[in-house]
C-alpha cells in the first residue's frame, strides 16, 4: 500500500501498531474525565457503567473492528485487480495505508474498555488476600489469547495452503485472503459476545440469589 507521507518519506509499516497504543493513551483520560461523568449523570452509578458493561463493550467493539478490517482488505484486493497488480507483489498498490488506521484506533478503544473492566472485576470480586492472584489471572487472559491466536493461524495456514491454491496468509497479499480470516474472527467474536452475555446474566442472577 502507499505509505508515503511526503516526498521521499514513507511511514514504516511496522509502526501502524503505534496508533492502537496512541488511541489507548488518549482514550483513557477521555473515558475518565468525559465518558464516566456523562454516564454517571444518566445511570446514577458512581462508576458510570457497570464493570460487566465495560467488559461487554470491549468484546463488542472488536466485532466492528474485524468487519472494518475485512472490508478494507476486500477494497485492497479489488484495487489490485483493477490495476492489474495481482501477480506483482513488490509493486505498491495505489491505495493509501491510512485506510488501516480506523481499525487500529477502534481496537485500542476496545482494549481500553476490556482492560479497565477486567482489572476492576478481578480486583473487586476476589477476597482481599487473593487480589494478587486475581491480577495474575487477569494478565493470563491476554497470554492465553495470544497462544490461541497463534494456534488458529497455524491451523488455517495448513488448511488453506497447498500446491494448487493460495493460502489465506500467502506472501503475495494480493493473492491472500486475510478478509476471510477477519470475517472468521468477526464470527468468533459474535459467538464470544453471546457466551459472555449469557455468563454475565447467570453471574448477576446468582449474586442476587446469594444476597
So what's the pLDDT on residue 63?
93
Percent of the chain at pLDDT > 70 equals 96
Reply yes or no on whether the pLDDT at 206 is more than 80. no
Q: What's the average model confidence in pLDDT over 24-47?
A: 88
pTM of the model as a whole: 0.86
Q: In the chain, count H helices and then E strands.
A: 6, 2
What are the residue boundaries of the structural domains of the chain, listed by start? 4-210
Separation between Cα atoms, residue 160 and residue 177, nearest integer Å: 10
So what's the pLDDT on residue 208?
67
Query: Under 8 Å CB-to-CB from 75, ≥6 apart: which residues?
Result: 95, 99
- In total, the chain counts a number of residues equal to 211
CATH architecture of 4-210: Up-down Bundle (1.20)
Reply yes or no on whether the pLDDT at 210 is more than 60. no
> For 8-22, how does the pLDDT look when each residue is reduced to its tens digit (9 = 90+)?
788 888 888 899 999
So what's the pLDDT on residue 156?
92
Indicate if the alpha-carbon torsion angle 72, 77, 78, 83 is positive or negative.
positive
Amino acid at each position: 500500500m502507499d505509505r508515503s507521507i511526503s516526498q521521499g518519506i514513507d511511514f514504516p509499516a511496522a509502526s501502524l501498531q503505534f496508533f492502537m497504543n496512541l488511541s489507548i493513551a488518549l482514550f483513557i483520560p477521555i473515558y475518565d474525565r468525559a465518558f464516566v461523568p456523562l454516564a454517571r449523570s444518566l445511570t446514577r452509578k458512581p462508576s458510570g457503567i457497570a464493570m460487566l458493561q465495560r467488559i461487554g463493550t470491549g468484546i463488542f467493539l472488536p466485532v466492528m473492528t474485524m468487519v472494518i478490517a475485512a472490508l478494507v482488505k476486500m477494497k485492497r484486493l479489488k484495487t489490485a485487480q483493477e490495476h492489474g497488480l495481482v501477480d506483482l507483489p513488490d509493486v505498491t498498490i495505489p491505495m493509501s495505508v491510512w485506510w488501516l488506521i480506523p481499525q487500529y484506533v477502534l481496537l485500542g478503544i476496545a482494549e481500553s474498555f476490556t482492560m479497565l473492566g477486567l482489572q476492576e472485576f478481578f480486583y473487586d470480586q476476589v477476597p482481599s488476600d487473593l487480589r494478587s492472584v486475581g491480577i495474575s489471572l487477569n494478565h493470563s487472559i491476554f497470554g492465553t489469547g495470544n497462544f490461541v491466536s497463534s494456534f488458529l493461524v497455524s491451523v488455517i495456514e495448513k488448511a488453506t495452503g497447498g500446491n494448487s491454491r493460495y493460502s489465506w496468509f500467502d506472501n503475495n497479499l494480493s493473492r491472500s485472503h486475510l478478509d476471510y480470516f477477519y470475517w472468521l474472527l468477526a464470527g468468533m467474536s459474535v459467538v464470544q459476545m453471546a457466551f459472555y452475555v449469557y455468563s454475565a446474566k447467570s453471574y448477576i442472577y446468582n449474586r442476587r440469589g446469594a444476597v
